[in-house]
Amino acid sequence: MNEINIKAEKLSLDALWTGDKAEIAILVEIFMDPVYRLALRMTGSEQDAEDITQETFIKVIKSLPDFEGRSQLATWIYRIAMNESLMNLRRRKPAGSTVEIDAGNEEEDSAEIEIIDWAAQPEAELLDSEGKQQLDLAIARLPESMRSVFTLRDLQGLSIEETASVLGISIPNVKTRLLRARLKLRQDLSLYHRERLGRSD
């Protein structure tokens, strides 16, 4: 999967199973930032990401004795973190919260393809505070089903197979959602850069 997996493979499952605090501390240290980032991308809220990270590790530690080691530890932890994030989003909906911006219909996306070549713009400009804000907005606008796939595959660096396993969906489904997510983000950022480049003319 990546360096996280390499670090995780060095953990002693025996020590984790017996509740060895020093080993648990290493596990938390390895996965703390990835879990926080996953939760932050899914919810767009630092406070929620903090709460979700706490809840995730409480569940992880509680369930460690039941972890059979058949799946990778990382996949198992990501699944718990993703479920916590999705539950957090579900809890917001009945209150009529406007935080979750869901485009709803997955079928209607990527119909339009904006053609503007902004890829060669200086990175300092693409990632200034306004640029970053647009990145955050674009990902928040993705439907949840695409955001989860993009977050796991492109941001956390999981393979297609691992992403499918975490989300409990098929590999073709991951591929479809990933392509749609990438195209939708590209489209959103292209529209923004068209407007921004027009402003600087």
Partner 1 sequence: MGQTTECQKLLGELSNLIDGTLSPELCSELEAHLKECTNCRIVVNTTRKTIDLYHVEESQMGMPEPAREKLWKRLELGDITPRGKSM
Task: For residue 133, give both structure tokens.
Answer: 């804000």
Contact flag: residue 57 with partner 1 (CB under 8 A): yes
- With CB under 8 A as the contact rule, the residue among 147, 163, 190, 192 that binds partner 1 is 190
Q: Toward partner 1, which CB reaches closer, 93 or 171?
A: 171
- With CB under 8 A as the contact rule, the residue among 86, 135, 137, 169 that binds partner 1 is 135
Contact flag: residue 171 with partner 1 (CB under 8 A): no
- Enumerate binding residues for partner 1 (CB under 8 A): 21-22, 24-26, 28-29, 32-33, 36-37, 40, 46, 49-50, 53-54, 57-58, 61, 110, 113, 115-120, 123, 126-127, 131-132, 135, 139, 154-155, 175, 178-179, 182-183, 185-186, 189-190
